[in-house]
Amino acid sequence: MTDRLRLAVPNKGRLVEPTLALLHDAGLVFESTDRSLVARVRNFDLDILFVRTNDVIEFVRDAVADLGVTGIDLLCESGADLPQVRLLGYGQCRLAAAVPADSPYQSLQDLSGLRVATAHPNATRSFFAAQSVPIEVIPISGAVEVAPRLGLAEAIVDLVSSGSTLIMNGLRPIADVLASEAVLVANPDARDTRSVELKAIETMLSAVIAARDKKYLMMNALASKLAELEALLPGLSGPSVIPLAHEGMIAIHSVVEADAVWGLLPRLKAAGASGILVLPIEKIVP
Ligand code: AMP
């Protein structure tokens, strides 16, 4: 059928695993084997196209796919003016300008007139132009971090997440060029003509992303401890308080930030909570 919605996703590299996890967590049922180009989603009118990371944007721009998963860095580099449906909460990294650790360069201005090697020539060019620092961009497609050692350039602009690769290669970051993460993009026509289906996908994905950094807490306590416990539990719209069969006892349920749980548990216990359960949340639709 030609009118099934098509979503292009990377078939190799860092974005593959988190993208597949997100789609599966959203409840889409499909088989993904490395060799198949197209996976048919069984419970939604959607085909998933597995393509090279660098081709996702072109597929969406050319309307071969209605939606695509890519990185902000790649979008910026391509210059494609595609509508961003939503950020996806993974693939966080940044494009950073770096120089050899033992070089005298400390700031962007120090790179004026020098060569900068990068696999992101367009993003690099526009960043330095916006900073009014004239440089020569040396486009290379891989192993950017060895360019200074090879004498190809005085500096590089490369993707960094922790920064440890830069350090391992004897480099020192001097400026951030761009913050990136994975993003769901749409073809502009599809956004207009298939808005209902796109909204359904966006809602499914958003529900999973919203739930990922949250936990569901359940606990019992004496009703007299409610005020003290409530002060510790903001929840989505305040905690739910449920009377228990035993007189004077309540159950409190609340949604909390996952990162806050470990700090919260001893304080809840000290404030009188018992039988505390911490549960994962599958989806949140506000
Ligand atoms: P890959 O296909 O593995 O080369 O990476 C594709 C995309 O993953 C990049 O364009 C970024 O959007 C994203 N990414 C996330 N973290 C990193 C990282 N530490 N290094 C490179 N790319 C990253």
Report the alpha-carbon distance of residue 32 to residue 144 in Å, rounded: 32
Look at residue 257 in the predicted model and tell me its pLDDT.
94
Q: Is position 286 within any domain? A: no
Look at residue 234 in the predicted model and tell me its pLDDT.
73
- Neighbour-count burial for 224-235, b at 16+ CB within 10 Å, e otherwise: ebbeebbebbeb
Nearest alpha carbon to residue 161 among 141, 175, 181, 145 = 181
Q: Is 24 helix (H, G, I), strand (E, B) or coil?
A: helix
Q: How many domains in the chain?
A: 3
Domain of residue 111, residue span: 93-180
Dist. CA 93 → ligand 1 center (Å): 7
Average pLDDT for 205-230 = 96
Q: Is position 194 within any domain? A: yes
3-state secondary structure 47-111: EEEEECHHHHHHHHHCCCCCEEEEEHHHHHHHCCCCCEEEECCCCCEEEEEEEECCCCCCCHHHH
Average pLDDT for 38-55 = 95
Domain at 153, CATH number: 3.40.190.10
Look at residue 1 in the predicted model and tell me its pLDDT.
44
Instruction: Note whether 37 and 138 are same-domain residues.
Output: no
Dist. CA 147 → ligand 1 center (Å): 19
Kindly report the protein residue whose alpha carbon is nearest to atom 1 of ligand 1. Answer: 13
pTM over 0.85: yes
Dist. CA 160 → ligand 1 center (Å): 8
Instruction: Answer with the one of 211, 227, 251 that is the final residue of a domain.
Output: 211
Look at residue 25 in the predicted model and tell me its pLDDT.
96
Instruction: Note whether 84 and 125 are same-domain residues.
Output: no
pLDDT in tens, 71-91: 999 999 999 999 999 999 999
Look at residue 235 in the predicted model and tell me its pLDDT.
65
Residues with CB under 6 A from ligand 1: 10, 13-15, 53, 71, 73-74, 91, 93, 159, 161, 180
Instruction: Note whether 29 and 62 are same-domain residues.
Output: yes
Q: Is position 129 within any domain? A: yes
pLDDT in tens, 226-243: 999 999 997 667 789 999
Q: Specify the amino acid at residue 88.
A: L
Q: What average pLDDT does the structure give for the chain?
A: 95
Instruction: Answer with the one of 196, 211, 226 that is the final residue of a domain.
Output: 211
Q: Specify the amino acid at residue 9.
A: V
For 80, the token pair is: 């494609």
Q: Given pLDDT bands bounded at 50, 70 and 90, which one contains residue 142?
A: confident
Question: Which ligand 1 atom lies nearest to the CA of residue 180?
Answer: 12
Instruction: Note whether 228 and 244 are same-domain residues.
Output: yes
Instruction: Note whether 11 and 50 are same-domain residues.
Output: yes
Instruction: Note whether 60 and 186 are same-domain residues.
Output: yes
Look at residue 87 in the predicted model and tell me its pLDDT.
98
Report the alpha-carbon distance of residue 246 to residue 220 in Å, rounded: 11
Instruction: Note whether 97 and 175 are same-domain residues.
Output: yes
Question: Which one of 11, 12, 15 would you pick to mutate in the ligand 1 pocket, going by the greatest count of ligand atoms within 8 A of its CB?
Answer: 15
Domain at 220, CATH number: 3.30.70.120
Instruction: Note whether 103 and 25 are same-domain residues.
Output: no
Instruction: Note whether 97 and 173 are same-domain residues.
Output: yes
